[in-house]
Amino acid sequence: AMLRGVQVYAATDKRRRGFPCLTHIDLTLHDGRLHCMAVYRHQYLVEKAYGNMLGLSALVQFLCQQSGYEPGELVVHATMADAQRGDFPGVARLAADARAALDAAAADDLGDES
């Protein structure tokens, strides 16, 4: 339902990936820097995450320009992150390579202990 241009979601909404994905932004001033923390309900890591980070960094840059504060840290939390391995074969290869590197490092660590 629409209420004066604002989308209102029913408490019975059971959609797993419905909008809005960005649910919270926290802006904190600390030692003259403006820090930003954002929470996303769902994040497509290949298709959306980079653009979302660019948008948030542009927001922080604008706020800093207007307020005179220096930019601080930008932290993003995704309560559900989709690596899209099935949609992008390169991601699956990257994940497999990373897993193999971790396994090799663990095997090396075990060899050092004996």
pLDDT digits (tens, 9 = 90+) for 75-96: 999 888 887 877 777 877 888 8
Model confidence at 56, pLDDT cuts 50, 70, 90, reads: very high
Instruction: Tell me which amino acid residue 4 is.
Output: R
**Model pLDDT, residue 2:** 47
pLDDT at 20 over 60: yes
Percentage with pLDDT > 70 across the chain: 81
User: Which uninterrupted H or E stretch holds 33?
Assistant: strand 33-40
CA distance 70 to 55: 17
CA distance 63 to 25: 13
CA distance 60 to 19: 23
- For strands 33-40 and 6-7, give the pairing: unpaired
Fill in the DSSP letter of residue 83: -
3-state secondary structure of 71: strand
Q: Which of 41, 22, 23, 52 is nearest to 82 (CA)?
A: 41
- Look up the pTM and report it: 0.63
CA distance 63 to 61: 6
Average pLDDT of the residues in 35-46? 90
**Model pLDDT, residue 33:** 97
